[in-house]
Structure 1
Amino acid sequence: MSLLEELAGNKAKARAAAKELTIAQLENLIEGLNNALVKMQEDEQARQAEEQAKAAQAAEIAKLIEQSGLTLEEIATLSGGVSRSSATKGKTVAPKYRIQWNGETHEWSGRGRTPKVFQAYFDAGNTREDAEIKN
């Protein structure tokens, strides 16, 4: 528990701690705490207003869905129901680079971490352009 939480929960301890401060320090502390309180209240009001706006939007969407006679499943199916990222997830990509290294052919799409064999090839003084597959 922090010191402020302890003082906030026990008035006697707060008074005892306040006796160690000058009047100016105590007034400054009170002003700072009041400013923090106002800021927290404003943040809470903004959060509640945002929550109410989202609830109103959700109610309006629910009303439109009800009026349309469609179910959420039908809407998902009709709209494609697949996010852009999941539409390409797991699909293989054509290789962009090909090298002959130690008698073997290696291919790489150019995405993700550079494979060790390609890194060794590049470290040997070759460039990506040397390994690029020309169509």
Structure 2
Amino acid sequence: MKEVRSFIKTASLTELEKAQQLINDAISKYTQQQKAKQEVLDLLKEKGLTLEDLQDGASDKRTKVKPKYRMELNGETIEWTGRGRRPKAFEGVELEKFLA
């Protein structure tokens, strides 16, 4: 907002009119987008769908890896897939004892 106030203080009348037109256009575009979003949400509700129904599960190309190791530490379950850095909880222990 400081930049806007500074611009207003130093701008000429034509620059202010041009800025006003740009702001009005931005407001109009924003209003149209909000109206379109609401129309889409209303249509989804009418058809009994949710946004999650539209999302394709295949969009995430990474596959979820099941944990290979699991241990209880201080009442908390700690799991590790065996990939990446070894968690501190699994350092210095025999992993075979904690196979999931």
Q: TM-score, normalised by structure 2?
A: 0.47
**Structure with greater helix share of residues:** 1
Larger radius of gyration: 1
Higher relative contact order (CA 8 A, sep 6+): 2
